[in-house]
Amino acid sequence: MKGKLLLIFIFITFKIFSQENNVGIEYSFNVEITNKAIAEKLKEKSGFQFSKSFKVFYTEKGVLRFIEKSNNFIQSSIFNNKNNELILFDRTGIISKKEGDYNKPKIKSKKSESKNTITYKTKTGNYNYYYNSEKMKLNSSNLNNLGEHCFNEFINETGVLPEKVVYKFGVMKFIVELKKIIHLSSKDISVLNKIIEKQNKRSVIKFLSFIEQKDKLELINTIYNESKVGGKLDFFTQIKGKEFNGLQVKPGLIATNFEIALYKWGLGTFKLGLNSYKDSYKVFSKITNRKLTEQEKKLIKLGFENDWKK
């Protein structure tokens, strides 16, 4: 098997998915190397740089998979159920198209005495499987394909979505954990279905845009919730009744408690990952249920850019 692929997706035909069950799933993906000496040797090799998380979206038309990069970019994919066709892409566009079937390592019998095991943790208990690693070379492509195959086989057999998967390969331990279910609106499903049907460069761009927009909305919701009383971005509750008391921020600069709180809030939205102070304006306007004054905008922007530290 060639290429550096992390093909982790579950076909829509599995028991747990149906035409009425359109859903997105986010998993984290981590690797532990149990031998410290080997871990040091492999640390610098690009073939052993793994993704930190991945998102998979299922519709009646097929499956879309997006991998977040860690140290290197890992390809994502779109699978069309009808054509049984898989396209691989990165941010430059489509890399290849091929049949949905691909080479899969074989899982050994459950009675095997092999030390190579896959453990699935679910709400109904733990399941253990064994696999044959004799003919597999120690590289990321084979290991990732093994993980995908075992994951799919488990769901095929049980119809259960695992909350955590741990599979061992010699000195390596792969840990895949369910982070959250991503609920899809009817509009989301329509967009994803069109992407799956077309499978061209424009579809790839639309899918990347879809991911970015979803992530942005999620971040905005996080900021909104953290700004509530007691949240990480609640700099306002503690200054109630003292909003207009003045403090020296630095030599030559005095600000009120409210101005300092706004500055901190703007800086907090940047640290959480917002890319634009204008998005911060929109969130604060939603929180206060009113339009912001020009002074409030100025202070949020100053905080966003951490201007007082310059």
pLDDT digits (tens, 9 = 90+) for 75-122: 788 888 888 888 888 878 888 887 765 444 444 444 444 466 777 777
The residue with greater pLDDT, 149 or 302, is: 302
Average pLDDT of the residues in 302-309: 92
Neighbours of 233 (CB within 10 A): 24
pLDDT at 105: 45
Give the pLDDT band of residue 227 (cuts 50, 70, 90).
very high
pLDDT at position 120 is 75
Q: How many CB atoms lie within 10 A of CB 143?
A: 24
Say if residue 130's pLDDT is above 90. no
pLDDT of the residue at 141: 54
Tell me the C-alpha distance between 253 and 168, whole Å: 58
Global confidence as pTM? 0.69
More confident residue, 10 or 303: 303
By DSSP bridging, strand 125-131 and strand 117-122 are antiparallel
pLDDT at residue 17, rounded to an integer: 40
Mean pLDDT score, 130-150: 56
Tokens representing 205 are: 């761009």
> Is-contact 306 270, C-beta < 8 A?
yes
Alpha carbon 204 to its chain centroid, in Å, reads 17
- Rounded CA separation 36/42 (Å): 10
Q: For residue 281, what pLDDT is reported? A: 95
Q: What is the DSSP letter of 9?
A: -
